[in-house]
Amino acid sequence: MGNKEKAKERRENRLQQIRLLRTIPYSDHQRWWSKETVAVVTGGNRGIGFEICRQLAAHGLTVILTSRDATAGVESIKVLKEDGLDLIYHQLDIEDSSSINQFVKWLQENYGGLDILVNNAGVNFNLGSDNSVENAHKVVKTNYYGTKSMIEAMIPLLKPSTVGAHIVNVSSRLGRLNGRRNRISNVALWEKLSDVESLSEELIDNTLCTFLQQVEDGSWTSGGWPQNYTDYSLSKLAVNAFTRLMARKLSERPVGQKVCINCYCPGWVKTALTGYAGNNSVEEGADSGVWLSLLSDESTTGKFFAERREINF
């Protein structure tokens, strides 16, 4: 059996374990949440976001499904309600600061804040073996800066909790610094981004700014950037880096006001984002996001997961 076959077998075995775990209900001592626990999910009208909303609602939380397209969001709520699930909808464009501000005001007035934030909204314009950076600005603006804006806007609204409030960022293995493939070949930049103690917003922003400038002048192919899904990979690398940075900053909060922030890779999922060419179902892709949202261990923060297992950045 070759390495690819072995890897495929390991992945399938792990997915079978997770399918079994999902059939086991949470025990009373694990269920720290209730109907008063508020979870906000961005990009919840389809794909992984929709499934995360469905699973969290099935666990008995108050789930606020958000989407940029209000019509699509309302239709998604109707589908879930037909399945006997009760969710709330609110329009939210994570690229638009005024939309975020309106959402913040509405959330505070109606729910007093939130307990869980799942940053799922994202875009990708490359399918198959394509690697165009024509939409690089849009990809970076949505996937990184939109996610960053949501985190910054929601942190003041996170409710105190004995298990810590939760932020879950949907990311990708394509954005790993230490992946065997698709990694940054600029050694100096790689070392800077790898050092969590010296990691800063300025470094992350400058990295993206340099990449986008090179996209504009056509020199990006020799810039040492990831060679596959380059713009998407860079946007998720930035999400991963920001997750580590915020975990470091938020760790200074006192007991009762802790915030657990983690990211995870859902795998290659059969959704519109992948042109429905993925290997995993949406249920499998959503699983680790839901699992992280419901963890009761506040010490689990600043980490990267896939299939309920920690992987390196």
Instruction: Give the residue numbers marked as catalytic.
Output: 232
- Nearest Cα residue to 117 out of 73, 169, 163, 74: 169
With tokens 């600043």, the residue in question is 302
User: Can you read off the two tokens belonging to residue 3?
Assistant: 């390495």
State the Cα–Cα distance between residues 282 and 268, nearest whole angstrom. 10
Q: How far is CA 146 from the centre of its chain?
A: 11
Q: Is 273 within 8 Å of 124 (Cβ atoms)?
A: yes
